[in-house]
Each structure stands twice: as C-alpha cells, then as structure tokens.
Amino acid sequence: MLLKNTYNELIKILAKPRSYIGFIALTVLIGVILLAMKADGESFISFVTASFEQTLSFNGLILNGNLIAFIILQMLIIHVPLLVALVTGDLVSGEAAMGTLRMMGTKPISRNSFLLSKFLAGAIYTFFLTVWLAFLSLIIGQYMFGTGDLIVLNSDGLVIIPENDIMWRYGLAFCLAYLSLLSIATMSICFSVFSDNSIGPIVSTMAVIILFTIIGSLDVSTFDYIQPFLITTHMASWRSLFEIPVPYDAITDSIIILLIHIIGFTLLALWRFNKKDINT
C-alpha cells in the first residue's frame, strides 16, 4: 500500500503546475548566472583574484565549469529550499484544503503509510530537483566554460584543487546538498500536517529558513549554543568537501544533525497525523 500510494503521490505531483515552478526557476536563475558569467566572468574573476596578484600568478583557465558550479551552488543553496517547500509544504495541507484528505482518509490505507508515501514522494521530487541543479550548474557549466583546476576562496585562504580531484567532491557535495534539501522537505511536510491551508506551511518553512539563517550569521554569544544544531548551519557543509584536507569529522557531524532533523520531523509528523481529526 505504501508503494502504491507513493505512485499516487508522484502522479499528483507531476500533474500539479506548481511542481514545475522549481525546475523553471532553477533553469532561469542558473541560465542568467551562466550567461552573465559568459559575458562578464573574466572581470568578475579578476576582481576576486586582484588581492592575490602581488603574491601569486594565475595561469590557465580559472573561469571554468567547476568554478561556475561552485559559485552557483553557493548562491542558490539557501534559495532552493524555498522551491522545495513550495511543493512539499502543500502535500498534506493542500489535500486538507481541497477536501481530498477526507476522501483518502476513508480508504483502507493506514495513516502511517499515507504520510510516509508523501515523505517518499517529497524525497523523490527533491532528488530530481537536486539532479537538475547539478546538471545545470556542473554539466552545462562545464559544457559552456570547459574544465580546469578549481580555485576556492575560504576562511583559511585560497585552495587550489586539481582538475582530476574535483568530480568526486562534487558528487558528495550534491549528496550533502540533497540531504540538506531533504531535511527542509521533511520540515515542510511536518508543518503541513499541522495545517489545513496550503499557504501556511510554505510560509512557515520560509520563515524558519530565514530566521535560522539570520541566527546562524549573527556573531552573538547567546546563539553559540544553538547554532551547531540549526539546519541552515549544516546546509553549507558541502563547502567542506572543497577543503584540503577534507574535514570528515565536521561533515559527519553535519550528516548526523541533518539525519536527526529528518527523523525527528518525520516522527513528529506521524504522531500528529495519527491523532489528527479529519474535519475538513
């Protein structure tokens, strides 16, 4: 029944126009970034490298597809969750608002299976959105700009990663990005269980992301205790894969925190959904 209803959920997601907004938005946003970089990327790069020119000499293809993918991922990782929430935040509350939750609730499917099928469908949707993000930023980026060594500026200074040492890092980076987006998807589905209107959970998810991002960026000692546990703190953990050496302990911690969020939101949603009176 779980798999049958997951198939149902995918049909519903595919039929809803709003499901394509994320893909269209990513295509437009990344398209604009790629075209802007194509037109004026060299001056953008020289602006960044200018401060190092007295000590370093840069040769070769610096503005390549690998760098473009890094820039895009950094720019969009905070915004893509909003596109995910647009679909996942509506999965339960949208049905409650439409009245179809009442129809589905009379069918012989357990509430656990019904909700878990929504989580599975949300996870599949998020997966394809992440794949689309990877395809546009990395594959199209490499097609348009070629490949080369990746120069990354982080808090410790410049890191230069050889061309043949990059792809596995991107593979893992997109896996981490997927895990981050999945935690947002489960959070928005959880909010969706608590609501009977489709807008509330989407706005709530956006509000939480914005709030956590602000808390995470504020250098206030009061927040030091909670910052390590916020989803948004670990949404940037993919960047650690582009350090030498790779801080695996920190990445593992991020994975654990994100998984705890995913499991926690799922359990909370299941508990609430099983107690929920379907009155709509």
Which residues here bind another protein, judged by CB under 8 A? 1, 4-5, 7-8, 11-12, 15-17, 98-100, 102-110, 275, 277-279
**114 or 212: whose CB is closer to another protein?**
114
**41 or 94: whose CB is closer to another protein?**
94
Question: How near is the Cβ of 218 to another protein at its closest, in Å?
Answer: 39
C-alpha distances (whole Å) from 79 to each of 58, 255, 272 are 32, 20, 28
Question: How near is the Cβ of 102 to another protein at its closest, in Å?
Answer: 6
Question: How near is the Cβ of 23 to another protein at its closest, in Å?
Answer: 17
**60 or 275: whose CB is closer to another protein?**
275
**78 or 278: whose CB is closer to another protein?**
278
Question: How near is the Cβ of 25 to another protein at its closest, in Å?
Answer: 20
What is the C-alpha to C-alpha distance for residues 99 and 93, in angstroms, rounded to an integer?
Answer: 10
Question: How near is the Cβ of 278 to another protein at its closest, in Å?
Answer: 4
**21 or 207: whose CB is closer to another protein?**
21
**117 or 240: whose CB is closer to another protein?**
117
**125 or 174: whose CB is closer to another protein?**
125
Question: How near is the Cβ of 20 to another protein at its closest, in Å?
Answer: 12
Determine whether 2 is exposed, middle or buried from the number of CB atoms within 10 Å of its CB (0-12, 13-18, 19+).
middle
Question: How near is the Cβ of 18 to another protein at its closest, in Å?
Answer: 10
**104 or 203: whose CB is closer to another protein?**
104
One-letter identity of residue 117: S
3-state secondary structure the chain: CHHHHHHHHHHHHHHCHHHHHHHHHHHHHHHHHHHHHHHHHHHHHHHHHHHHCCCCCCCCCCCCHHHHHHHHHHHHCCCHHHHHHHHHCCCCHHHHHHCHHHHHHCCCCCHHHHHHHHHHHHHHHHHHHHHHHHHHHHHHHHHHHCCCCEEEEECCEEEEECHHHCHHHHHHHHHHHHHHHHHHHHHHHHHHHCCCCCHHHHHHHHHHHHHHHHHHHCCCHHHHCCHHHCHHHHHCHHHHHHCCCCCHHHHHHHHHHHHHHHHHHHHHHHHHHHHCCCCC
Question: How near is the Cβ of 205 to another protein at its closest, in Å?
Answer: 22
